[in-house]
Amino acid sequence: MVRAMVGSFLVLLAASAARSAENPAVTTLRQQVKALKAQQKTVVKAIQAQYNAVINQGSLTEAELRAMRAAVRKQERQQMALTTSGTDKEAIRQQYDLLRQGLSGKIALDGTQIAQLRRDRNALTTLVNKLYSTQIKEMEAQIRALRGAGKSSTAHRKK
């Protein structure tokens, strides 16, 4: 019983030591992945809030609408930076143009326009999730490649 506990402790200690001796590039990439995941959640929530604000535009002041339009411009620039695909860029541009029009307060919305805004909100959040997921997967592949390279170089040294 004691031997099993000591053995488990040694395995955990070795695993933590190996983790702490990890490649600094891997650590940096992990931090970037964590930051991207947090940013993804924030951006998706902001998009949903902005579309909801357009749908319920009568309840916002002009100052709030102005602030939301500025936030929309900033988000559009961020999303454009995440993609290299021309079709994705055009889809992003169209979605944000529609959102800006809604935030201008000049459009009176009827039931079909509200339904369209909800579909657009869902389409944009899906696209944003796809863009972030692609970035995250690329970074995770880099992490796996770096970890694999580190393991193979230590395996050669042991022989």
User: In the chain, what percentage of residues exceed pLDDT 70?
Assistant: 77
Residue 28 has pLDDT above 80, yes or no: yes
Sign of the dihedral defined by the CA atoms of residues 111, 115, 118, 120, in that order: negative
Q: What is the pLDDT of residues 41-74, one digit of tens each?
A: 999 998 888 888 888 776 777 788 788 888 888 8
- Give pTM, 2 decimals: 0.62
Task: Report residue 121 as tokens.
Answer: 């909100």
Q: What is the pLDDT of residues 96-117, one digit of tens each?
A: 887 787 777 666 777 888 888 8
Q: What is the mean pLDDT of residues 16-23?
A: 54
CB 146 within 8 A of CB 29: yes
Fold of the 30-158 domain? Four Helix Bundle (Hemerythrin (Met), subunit A) (1.20.120)
How far is residue 85 CA from its own chain's centroid?
17
Supply the DSSP string of 20-60, one letter for each residue: HTS-HHHHHHHHHHHHHHHHHHHHHHHHHHHHHHHHTGGGS
Domain parsing of the chain, residue ranges:
30-158
Residue 3 has pLDDT above 60, yes or no: no
Q: What's the CA gap between 155 and 118, in Å, rounded?
A: 54
Least Cα distance to 128 among 83, 94, 97 occurs for 83
CB 44 within 8 A of CB 128: yes
Q: Which distant-in-sequence residues (6+ apart) come within 8 Å of 43 by Cβ?
A: 75, 78, 79, 128, 132
Residue 8 has pLDDT above 60, yes or no: no
